[in-house]
Structure 1
Amino acid sequence: MAISKPPLGRLLRFPRNSSLSQILMYLGFAITLSFVLIALFAPLLQSWGWIQNPTDSLVNPIHQPPSGKYWFGTSRQGYDVFSRSLFGAQAALQVVLLATALSMMIGVPLGMLSGYLGGNVDKIFLFFMDSIYTLPGLLLSVTLAFVVGRGILNAAIAISIAYIPQYYRVVRNHTVSVKTELFIEAAQAMGANTWQVLTKYLFFNVIQSVPVLFTLNAADAILVLGGLGFLGLGLPEETPEWGYDLKLALEALPTGIWWTTLFPGLAMTIMVVGLSLLGEGLNEFVNPKLRRQNSIRK
């Protein structure tokens, strides 16, 4: 029995009438790719001496405004703001990718299993997932961060818990609708067990929305990580992270020291916007109903 998969061409082209969506998606992809490259090459630039070590406190240029020597100025602690802004992308991507991957690896299999088995198993999973889903994501992450402590992996775990129900609900709903299709019944009639049905026949038919959810959750996770860093609960102290740098810069803001808050905040905002544009573009891409509605409006 052949597995129904979305054609590859559908993932690589937009309808002719969706030029605006295409532009926004490509813009989001370009922004996201830029931050990925920054995160990858920041250590190399630092080893070549092109940028300062983000954890080194410079001796004299404390609170120096942006200049030819220090492009984004220096902070109250003597840090080079430009260097820390670049390395902040590295910390953000590490935590965000880990958090979204963890939530996806847990939520997707549970959603498939719950939707396919149904009955009491489905009710139990729904109860626990709905209980988690009703809690505010940031509050849940802050509470868990108190428990697990600081660090890349710990911050990712604290953030990921809030996203598991989202993957679970999306995949479970798709599974419930797909499991009644004729090709699933045929596979069962030919003796396919639960594992074979889930992996060979259901998986590729219920994950179309997962990439969209992944990018949107990644955008939200950056803000959550920034909130944890601002509260001093994210990464270890002095680690270049945008939320933590905003916390350090807050005291200097009333004195007119604007650059220590502007550049980390701007970097966080641009990355969130890029991921959001990418996610919204993918959403229109994989959702035929949404594409048809946009075509009708035009």
Structure 2
Amino acid sequence: MTISKRKLPKFWPFADRPSLSMQLMAVGLAITLFFVLIAIFASTFQGWGWLQNPTVSLTNPQGEAPSWNHWFGTSSEGYDVFSRTLFGSQAALQVVILATAFSLVIGVPLGLVSGYLGGRLDRVLLFVMDTIYTLPGLLLSMTLAFVVGRGVLNAAIAISISYIPQYYRVVRNHTVSVKTELFIEAAQAMGADTWTVLSRYLFLNVIQSVPVLFTLNAADAILTLGGLGFLGLGLPTEVPEWGQDIKMALSALSRGIWWTTFFPGFALTLMVVGLSLLGEGLSEFVNPGLRERK
């Protein structure tokens, strides 16, 4: 007697043999969750004595290679590189979540209103957003960071400005195509006001691509934050941050101290790769047509 396998529903992405994009998305999800857990529990690990205080260096030897006592070695200033690398994920996630949330909260409503109402408001917003979009993201973030100063909130604001046009353009284009559907016209004929149409009928139909854009922007925001930190425009010097740590470690490379740049740089790269893989996989997941063609 043979036992029949349970048949999974067709919409389940792993019902058949998962595609390469889905496998990579699983890898990206695992990497992302790993860094999220580190960021959440870093302070707890420090309280338990498993991690050193990343801002204290007087008790450590300077420039010590990786060893059992200091897994990632110590910097020329005596900081424990392992502790600063793990706490760097905390600073990165704080800034990235704030930056992408700011741009989403501003860009999505503007895209909805602009695409639905059209007219002069649509033309003005298109001009403003296209102007911002043409500016290099890192250069714009550098300029704003120089104006508003250092800090988690200030860095998030400086980074978020360059992402608002992306959410605006995606949502606005979807809104323009969806607002001509019959169910929208039926709602208008039944007397639904603008707010009801936008919130009840349009919103859920135009944000399918927003999670994908959110993930890819998060990966780019980590690189931008690292660039700001490397240029001395990111977070305060007492806050562990990967770009800032790489900048501090450059002078020690000539003396053969490679670990102070390798581990923060590797952590930054790994987190960006994880978020990028997750975003690419989500792009296929939310697009059934693309998944079926593959």
The two structures have a TM-score, normalised by structure 2, of: 0.95
Change (3 A) 1:19 1:57: same
Alignment match, 2:257 = 257
Q: CA offset at residue 13 of structure 1?
A: 2.7
Distance (whole Å) between structure 2 residues aligned to residue 104 and residue 14 of structure 1: 29
Q: What is the rounded CA distance, in whole Å, between the counterparts of 1:60 and 1:212 in structure 2?
A: 43
How far apart are 1:15 and its partner, in Å? Answer: 6.0
Check whether the contact 2:96–2:218 (CA below 8 A) recurs between aligned residues.
Answer: yes
Structure 2 residue runs of 5 or longer lacking an equivalent are 1-8
Distance 1:148 1:220 in 2: 21
The list of structure 1 runs, each at least 4 consecutive aligned residues, that deviate by more than 4 angstroms after superposition, is 9-12
Tell whether the 8 Å contact from 1:95 to 1:152 is kept in structure 2 after alignment: yes
Change (3 A) 1:149 1:10: farther
Quote the offset at 1:48 in angstroms: 1.0
Following superposition, the deviation at residue 22 of structure 1 comes to: 1.8
TM-score by length of 1: 0.93
Relative distance call for 1:273 and 1:60 in structure 2 (3 A) is closer
Answer yes or no: is 1:175 the counterpart of 2:175: yes
Q: Which amino acid aligns with 2:32?
A: T
C-alpha spacing 1:73/1:133, structure 2 compared with 1 (3 Å): same
Percent of residue pairs bearing the same amino acid type = 74
**1:160 Cα deviation from its structure 2 partner:** 0.2
Q: Deviations over 1:235-278 (max 9, x none)?
A: 01121000000000011112211000000000000000000000
Distance 1:211-1:57 versus aligned 2 partners, 3 A rule = same
Q: How far, CA to CA, are the matches of 1:247 and 1:253 in structure 2?
A: 11
Q: What is the match of residue 6 of structure 1?
A: none
**Contact conserved, 1:70 with 1:82, CA < 8 A, in 2?**
yes
- Matches of 2:10 and 2:46 in 1, distance apart? 41
Q: Are the aligned partners of 1:111 and 1:170 in contact in 2 as well (CA < 8 Å)?
A: yes
Instruction: Indicate the residue corresponding to 2:3 in structure 1.
Output: none
Corresponding residue number in structure 2 for 1:4:
none
Matched with 1:137 is: 137
1:111 aligned partner: 111
Q: What residue number does 2:24 align with?
A: 24
Deviation of 1:118 after TM superposition, in Å, equals: 0.7
Decide whether aligned partners of structure 1 residues 111 and 85 sit closer, same or farther in structure 2, where only a CA change above 3 A counts. Answer: same
The whole-number CA distance in structure 2 between the counterparts of 1:207 and 1:80 is: 43
Code of the aligned partner of 1:40? I
Query: 2:90 is matched by which residue type in structure 1?
Result: Q
- Alpha-carbon distance between aligned partners in 2 of 1:119 and 1:251, rounded to the nearest angstrom: 56
Matches within 5 A, 1:156-235: 156-235=156-235
Counterparts of 1:121-136 in structure 2, within 5 Å, are: 121-136=121-136
Matched AA of 1:218: A
**Structure 2 match to 1:285:** 285
Structure 2 CA distance, aligned partners of 1:284 and 1:187?
31
Cα deviation for residue 279 of structure 1 reads 0.2
TM-aligned CA deviation for residue 291 of structure 1: 1.9
Q: Distance in 2 between matches of 1:149 and 1:60?
A: 31
Residue ranges of structure 1 left out of the alignment (5+ in a row): 1-8
- SS of the equivalent of 1:150 reads coil
Tell me, yes or no, if the aligned pair for 1:11 and 1:285 is still in contact at 8 Å: no
For residues 11 and 275 of structure 1, the distance between their equivalents in structure 2, rounded to whole angstroms, comes to: 24
In structure 1, C-alpha distance between the alignment counterparts of 2:40 and 2:50, rounded to whole Å = 15
Which digits, 9 at most, give the CA deviation of each residue in 1:102-161, with x for residues without a partner? 000000000000000011111000000000000000000000000110001000000000
Shift of 1:287: 1.6
| Superposed counterparts of 1:263-278, under 5 Å | 263-278=263-278
Write the deviation string for residues 191-231 of structure 1: whole angstroms up to 9, x where unpaired. 00110000000000000000000000000000000000001
Alignment pair present for 1:46 and 2:51:
no
Counterpart of 1:90 in structure 2 is 90
Would the aligned equivalents of 1:92 and 1:241 in 2 still touch at CA under 8 Å? Answer: yes
* Residues 14 and 285 in structure 1, CA contact (< 8 A), matched pair in contact too: no
Larger CA deviation: 207-216 vs 11-20: 11-20
State how far apart, in whole Å, the 2-side matches of 1:56 and 1:99 are: 29
Query: For the residues of structure 2 that align with 1:204 and 1:14, how far apart are their CA atoms?
Result: 25
RMSD: 1.3
- Structure 1 CA distance for aligned equivalents of residues 263 and 69 of structure 2: 16
Q: Quick one: structure 1 residues 10 and 202, their matched pair in 2 at CA, closer, same or farther if it must change by over 3 Å? A: farther
One-letter amino acid of the counterpart of residue 74, structure 2: T
